[in-house]
Amino acid sequence: MEREEIMPYAPANGIKIYYENHGLGPPIVFAHGRSGCHLSWWQQVSDLRNKFQCITFDHRGFDYSKDVDDGPARKAFADDQLDLLNHLDIERAFLVGQSMGGWTCLSFAITHPDRTAGLVLADTSADINDEKIFAAYCARGEPPANIFDRALSAAFKERDPAKAFLYAEISALSEQPKESLMDLLLSRDGPAPNQLADLQLPTLFIVGEDDIVVPPEIARLCADAVPKSRLEIVKEAGHSVYFEQPEIFSRLVDEFVSSNVDSLG
């Protein structure tokens, strides 16, 4: 039997989205970043699957989810997420997005607020098209080109070289998008402030105090732009809080979902 035949896929806009489904309870969908895939969330799944339904997946063009030639790529991410929820018969879910995954989750929440119970936006500007955020990025300049250098703090790489190596191996499973990171950060095709004003969902922003891609001052601007949101700054973490400080990250997600579980309806 071909491996693909026994792997779980959800049909989505002419392609197949690979996903994994672990545990029972309030559903949480985890959307990985530009340097990740479904495997990125292994620590959160281990921490949370005894209490929640944890769904991880590969964005189209990453690891097992193949995009079509000249396909829509990230412009279809939110639509793909809707198809995934429909495939799993999940009416409403909490969404956790890291970096690029935050763009997916916020876009989905704006388009489908009735399908979203709450948002955790980690290490991300969520593609918010805000003049203050745009100016802050322009003032900082281009982040390092090397994923390994920009995604993990120097302290983490020194503290846990084995896990830093694992991070790099997970990242290598997917071909990197052709757009530069700075081009993506400054694309200005995301939700505008007037769209965010109508968003009435509990939202938690998480950022590492040593993040050089979305530093705390930019994360704070993002949180200020989203109603009903708050910001948590995590010490001794860079652009990958979920990987560098997994126990803290999982605890924050657990507390957030547990305190807002009534949002599931």
* pLDDT at residue number 36: 95
Q: How far apart are CA 261 and CA 93, in angstroms?
A: 10
Residues 6+ apart with CB under 8 A from 115: 82, 85, 91, 92, 93, 108
* pLDDT at residue number 2: 40
> What are the pLDDT digits (tens) for 211-237?
999 999 999 999 999 999 999 999 999
Structure pTM?
A: 0.93
Q: Does pLDDT of 179 surpass 70?
A: no
Q: How far apart are CA 163 and CA 156, in angstroms?
A: 9
- Give the mean pLDDT of the chain: 91
Bridge partners of 19, per DSSP, are: 57
Rounded (to 5) percent helix, strand, coil in the chain: 45, 20, 35
Least confident residue range of 66-75, 109-118, 126-135, 252-261: 66-75
Q: Which residue has the higher pLDDT, 57 or 176?
A: 57
Q: Does pLDDT of 8 surpass 60?
A: yes
Q: How far apart are CA 57 and CA 83, in angstroms?
A: 12
Q: Does pLDDT of 171 surpass 70?
A: yes
Q: Is the dihedral of CA 68, 98, 106, 82 positive or negative?
A: positive
* pLDDT at residue number 221: 96
Please state, in angstroms and as integers, the Cα–Cα distance from residue 167 to each residue in 32, 39, 105, 230, following that order: 13, 10, 22, 28
Q: Does pLDDT of 146 surpass 80?
A: no
pLDDT band at residue 200 using 50, 70 and 90 as cut-offs: very high
- Which stretches of the chain are DSSP H helices? 42-48, 77-87, 100-111, 131-140, 147-151, 154-159, 161-171, 181-185, 193-196, 216-225, 241-244, 246-259
Task: Quickly name the fold that domain 3-257 has.
Answer: Rossmann fold (3.40.50)
> What are the pLDDT digits (tens) for 17-49?
999 999 999 999 999 999 899 999 999 999 999
Q: Which residue has the higher pLDDT, 184 or 102?
A: 102
Average pLDDT over residues 69-90: 92
CB-based contact 237:247 (threshold 8 Å): no
Q: How far apart are CA 93 and CA 246, in angstroms?
A: 21
Q: How far apart are CA 98 and CA 123, in angstroms?
A: 6
Q: Does pLDDT of 143 surpass 90?
A: no
